[in-house]
A = this chain, B = another copy of it.
């Protein structure tokens, strides 16, 4: 099959790779309907994370089940399924508490190599959620978004306790931040403040329900949020970047007793204890347990109540994956969808 491999920073190739096969009796193999490039794929692409030899890329996926292992009981060949970036059994105590990314049997980064024609999904029964029917083609981008960026933005909004009567600020205008806006609004937030300096992203943020856009960042941006909230700060802040500056911006934009939901993968972040202590905020986040939200998100998408697929502003055939990476790296695209 064809699949994407990162050889070195900036060097992404689509090449022939071995067809995935059932390796464990709990596996499934799916034929991908679509895949995409993640903001987190840009860390190694930009050389900020080391590239350890040729690496198959991609962890967001939707597709049709081709084959299942002998112990798979609920997922069946022919079903259209959505999964996420951590395989989980969905039955252990941690999964049942809604933290499938910390499942006691989790397989992080499973699958790797989903920017491809086929993928092997471990723990298929726990990891995959089937759609009620085979979805119309125009729903595929939304379902693909549910696989990571929507589920992650949704978790951030839940972690930030976005809800009725609340003002929610969103740090980060990538796909996760933008879908954090959508989630906050959908969860009932009264006011959603998007931090963004890019006209296209501001427009999409407004389409997703942002009521205010702040174009400054850092302490200047914090001051604007405080001004919008009677000097108190936002009730809820979503952090979707993962740098020291963005984390401090999120904490400082939150009122005492408010909630920060952080999902930007931390890179060189070190939180000063004294400042955190005196802030009085709640802090929760980490790798999003997307699986927790998949059934609800699939329903909302299939009922056309939300359209998270709008974050894909570039669609390319899989063979042009390299251009998809370049466009995101150069901020010409918010998110690239790849069709095998």
Contact = CB atoms under 8 A, between A and B. Distances in A.
Interface of A: 93-94, 97-99, 101-102, 104, 230-232, 242, 244, 247, 255-257, 262, 265-274, 276-287
Given A94-B232, A104-B231, A277 B271 contact: no
Given A94-B232, A232-B94, A99 B256 contact: yes
Interface of A, secondary structure class, is mixed
A255 B101 CA distance: 12
A283 B286 contact: no
Given A97-B257, A255-B94, A282-B284, A269 B274 contact: yes
Contact of A232 (B104, B256, B281): B104
A273 B271 contact: yes
A263 to B, nearest CB: 9
The 7 lowest CB-CB distance pairs between A and B, nearest first, are: A269-B273, A102-B256, A266-B273, A99-B257, A280-B286, A266-B277, A271-B271
A269 to B, nearest CB: 2
Contacts of A284: 281-283
B257 A98 contact: yes
